[in-house]
């Protein structure tokens, strides 16, 4: 195979997004669109990537970081013009794969197939096309009487006859570098938009007798370009469905996958059960046999095996639940470890805490971890029992096998094997109600007898 460099066009503003943010940085399932394209390219074993930036160039570069060549397209004069800016930076590329930064559904497998088709056919250009019942705004692939690709016509510039063509341009192409360089300067902005269309390169290559063909992508979903926020939602939906399907096929049960949102970066082991309305985001790892109840959100957390989570539970970044731990309903945990077999069953906030094994944290307990300026840690050692409605004012430690009485506000460390009670003593004042209000006086006068 010839050396191949990928060029990803990402300089456009994305006017139809109606956004101050560059289109390719809009996120689907918490990941910028362009990162999906880069990942697919890398997984297709194409190492060298050049990204054409322009609108919001600094923001795009900052988001993507180093490891890529960046070509600057100062004025966005069209997709052909964008590619012109990249070529001088790629003197040693034998062949190029050109992609758009707004097509997050492309898979590495499809890109590899495109590449093989291009290499084997010896064409100067292979277009990736797809068949759609209604081609919408996509460019149409025009073939001649012999069935060869003759040109691409943009929908805006197409005749009614051309608009009826069902084979459309995905915006992904492989080019022989030499052939491309021979014709790219011939592009001219003579179309309805006044832009240098990359799609006009097809005619130019044909004019100098080069072979152009098309590889038809079987799954038309894959080539979907995101141009507005409605299409962004459609793409997100497909990405979500792909992830959920993969998880279900690997042994995870989902009661209603249509309402489950799991980022690509999340790993879940077999025999977990996930109920409706669950959101698992960022870098999460979940062990075997966990039960995740409805209305749960988990972000950047590590969950051991056989844990019980939810319903209505929020596990924020840095949460670690060890095996058999429980985080029940209306529980929020942040940056804390809950040790093996420990339970936080209801109505709690646990932040910046290290909770040992076999600890029970009573209903309504909270860690008071913030004084308005700084965060402080709470330590609860193994087998401690925290009574309901306890306030643990950090920094504070509850020792091994100690008990905190319900309703306590704990401000000092509790030694091991102790009972801590920190609440006002109860006084009962008999007859207080009658004293306060004569109507309740328990005598004959007031009863009218
Ligand atoms: C383009 C194709 C169309 C194809 C469709 C597939 C052209 C003329 N048309 O149309 O045939 O069906 O993609 O999705 O190529 N960009 C730049 N610089 C520019 C203009 C665009 O880098 O000056 C980038 C954009 O950031 C985007 C990509 O090129 O990532 C495609 O641009 P877009 O305006 O979305 O092209 P389409 O109208 O969708
Ligand atoms: Ca597009």
Which ligand 1 atom sits closest to the C-alpha of 139? 11
Ligand nearest to the CA of 79: 1
Q: Nearest C-alpha to atom 35 of ligand 1 is from which residue?
A: 227
DSSP H stretches of helix in 78-172: 79-86, 108-121, 160-163
Contact 52, 85 (CB under 8 A): yes
What is the spatial distance between Cα 406 and Cα 386, in angstroms, rounded to a whole number?
Answer: 7
Q: What is the mean pLDDT of each run of 10 residues along the chain (449 residues)?
A: 92 94 97 98 97 97 97 97 98 96 98 98 97 96 96 96 97 98 96 94 97 97 96 98 98 98 97 98 98 98 98 98 98 98 98 98 98 97 98 98 98 98 95 89 55
| Helix and strand totals (H; E) in the chain | 10, 36
d(CA 45, ligand 1 centre) in Å: 24
Q: What is the pLDDT of residue 440?
A: 85
- Pair 186, 312 in one domain: no
Contact 73, 52 (CB under 8 A): yes
Structure tokens at 228: 């507005």
What is the spatial distance between Cα 237 and Cα 261, in angstroms, rounded to a whole number?
Answer: 9
d(CA 41, ligand 1 centre) in Å: 18
d(CA 29, ligand 1 centre) in Å: 22
- Pair 47, 33 in one domain: yes
CATH number of residue 318's parent domain: 2.160.10.10
Contact 156, 101 (CB under 8 A): no
- Pair 192, 237 in one domain: no
Q: Nearest C-alpha to atom 22 of ligand 1 is from which residue?
A: 11
| Candidate of 53, 79, 101, 156 to mutate for ligand 1, largest count of ligand atoms within 8 Å of Cβ | 79
Last residue of a domain, one of 167, 192, 223: 223
- Pair 237, 203 in one domain: no
Contact 179, 125 (CB under 8 A): yes
Structure tokens at 370: 């913030």
- Pair 125, 9 in one domain: yes
Q: Is residue 429 part of a domain?
A: no
User: Ligand 1 within 6 A of 81 CB?
Assistant: yes
Q: Any bridge partners for residue 213, and if so which?
A: 126
Contact 235, 226 (CB under 8 A): yes
- Pair 203, 342 in one domain: no
- Pair 354, 321 in one domain: yes
- Pair 305, 408 in one domain: yes
152's enclosing H/E stretch is strand 149-153
Q: Is residue 90 part of a domain?
A: yes
Q: Which of 346, 374, 400, 427 is catalytic?
A: 346
Whole-model pTM: value is 0.91
User: Ligand 1 within 6 A of 388 CB?
Assistant: no
User: Ligand 1 within 6 A of 231 CB?
Assistant: no
Residue (of 307, 253, 300) closest to 281 by Cα position: 300
Place of tokens 């700084």: 374
Residue (of 264, 168, 263) closest to 224 by Cα position: 168
d(CA 264, ligand 1 centre) in Å: 26
Ligand nearest to the CA of 170: 1
Last residue of a domain, one of 188, 203, 223: 223
- Pair 215, 246 in one domain: no
Q: Is residue 430 part of a domain?
A: no
Ligand nearest to the CA of 7: 1
Contact 366, 379 (CB under 8 A): no
Which ligand 1 atom sits closest to the C-alpha of 171? 6
User: Ligand 1 within 6 A of 34 CB?
Assistant: no
d(CA 227, ligand 2 centre) in Å: 5
Q: What is the pLDDT of residue 358?
A: 98
CATH number of residue 52's parent domain: 3.90.550.10
User: Ligand 1 within 6 A of 366 CB?
Assistant: no
User: Ligand 1 within 6 A of 77 CB?
Assistant: yes
Q: Nearest C-alpha to atom 36 of ligand 1 is from which residue?
A: 79
d(CA 100, ligand 1 centre) in Å: 7
* Domain span holding position 12: 4-223
Backbone angles phi, psi at 90, to 5 degrees: -125, 55
Q: Is residue 78 part of a domain?
A: yes
| Candidate of 12, 78, 80, 135 to mutate for ligand 1, largest count of ligand atoms within 8 Å of Cβ | 12
User: Ligand 1 within 6 A of 390 CB?
Assistant: no
What is the spatial distance between Cα 408 and Cα 14, in angstroms, rounded to a whole number?
Answer: 57
- Pair 122, 259 in one domain: no
Structural domains counted in the chain: 2
DSSP H stretches of helix in 133-228: 160-163, 177-183, 201-207
Q: Is residue 95 part of a domain?
A: yes
What is the spatial distance between Cα 102 and Cα 9, in angstroms, rounded to a whole number?
Answer: 9
Fill in the DSSP letter of residue 281. Answer: E
Q: Nearest C-alpha to atom 2 of ligand 1 is from which residue?
A: 171
Q: Is residue 434 part of a domain?
A: no
d(CA 189, ligand 2 centre) in Å: 18
The question of whether 81 is a catalytic residue gets the answer: no
Ligand nearest to the CA of 78: 1
User: Ligand 1 within 6 A of 287 CB?
Assistant: no
Q: Is residue 435 part of a domain?
A: no
Last residue of a domain, one of 158, 190, 223: 223
User: Ligand 1 within 6 A of 12 CB?
Assistant: yes
Q: What is the pLDDT of residue 438?
A: 84
- Pair 311, 182 in one domain: no
User: Ligand 1 within 6 A of 32 CB?
Assistant: no
Q: Is residue 167 part of a domain?
A: yes
Contact 255, 274 (CB under 8 A): yes
What is the spatial distance between Cα 19 and Cα 26, in angstroms, rounded to a whole number?
Answer: 9
User: Ligand 1 within 6 A of 341 CB?
Assistant: no
Ligand nearest to the CA of 80: 1
Q: Any bridge partners for residue 351, and if so which?
A: 334
- Pair 288, 360 in one domain: yes
CA distances from 257 to 147, 244, 248, 274, 279 (A): 43, 7, 9, 9, 11
Residue (of 138, 259, 104, 127) closest to 180 by Cα position: 127
Contact 213, 149 (CB under 8 A): yes
Q: Any bridge partners for residue 331, and if so which?
A: 313, 348
């Amino acid at each position: 195979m010839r050396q191949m460099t990928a060029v990803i066009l990402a300089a456009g503003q994305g006017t139809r997004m109606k956004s101050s943010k560059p289109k390719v940085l809009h996120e689907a399932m918490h990941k910028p669109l362009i990162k999906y394209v880069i990942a697919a390219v890398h997984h297709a074993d194409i190492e060298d990537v050049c990204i054409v930036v322009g609108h919001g160039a600094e923001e795009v570069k900052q988001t993507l970081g180093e490891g890529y060549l960046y070509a600057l397209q100062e004025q966005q004069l069209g997709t052909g013009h964008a590619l012109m800016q990249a070529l001088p930076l790629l003197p040693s590329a034998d062949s190029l794969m050109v992609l758009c930064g707004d097509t997050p559904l492309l898979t590495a497998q499809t890109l590899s197939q495109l590449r093989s088709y291009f290499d084997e056919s010896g064409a100067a250009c292979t277009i990736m096309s797809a068949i759609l019942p209604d081609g919408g705004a996509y460019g149409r692939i025009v073939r001649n009487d012999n069935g060869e690709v003759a040109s691409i016509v943009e929908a805006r510039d197409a005749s009614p006859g051309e608009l009826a063509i069902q084979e459309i341009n995905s915006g992904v192409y492989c080019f022989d570098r030499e052939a491309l360089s021979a014709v790219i300067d011939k592009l001219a902005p003579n179309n309805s938009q006044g832009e240098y269309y990359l799609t006009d390169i097809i005619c130019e290559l044909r004019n100098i007798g080069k072979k152009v063909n098309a590889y038809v992508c079987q799954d038309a979903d894959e080539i979907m370009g995101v141009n507005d926020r409605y299409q962004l939602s459609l793409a997100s939906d497909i990405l979500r469905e792909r992830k959920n399907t993969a998880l279900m096929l690997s042994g995870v049960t989902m009661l209603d996958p249509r309402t489950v949102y799991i980022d690509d970066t999340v790993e879940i082991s077999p025999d977990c059960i996930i109920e409706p309305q669950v959101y698992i985001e960022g870098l999460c790892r979940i062990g075997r046999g966990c039960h995740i109840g409805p209305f749960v959100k988990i972000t950047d957390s590590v969950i051991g095996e056989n844990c019980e989570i939810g319903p209505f539970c929020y596990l924020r970044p840095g949460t670690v639940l060890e095996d058999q731990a429980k985080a029940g309903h209306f529980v929020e945990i942040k940056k804390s470890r809950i040790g093996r077999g420990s339970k936080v069953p209801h109505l709690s906030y646990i932040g910046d805490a290290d909770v040992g094994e076999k600890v029970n944290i009573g209903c309504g307990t909270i860690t008071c971890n913030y004084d308005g300026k700084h965060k402080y840690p709470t330590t609860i050692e193994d087998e401690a029992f925290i009574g309901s409605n306890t306030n643990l004012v950090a920094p504070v430690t509850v020792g091994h096998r100690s008990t905190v009485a319900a309703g306590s506000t704990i401000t000092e460390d509790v030694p091991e094997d102790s009972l801590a009670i920190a609440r006002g003593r109860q006084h009962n004042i008999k007859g207080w109600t009658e004293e306060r209000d004569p109507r309740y006086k328990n005598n004959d006068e007031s009863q009218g007898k």
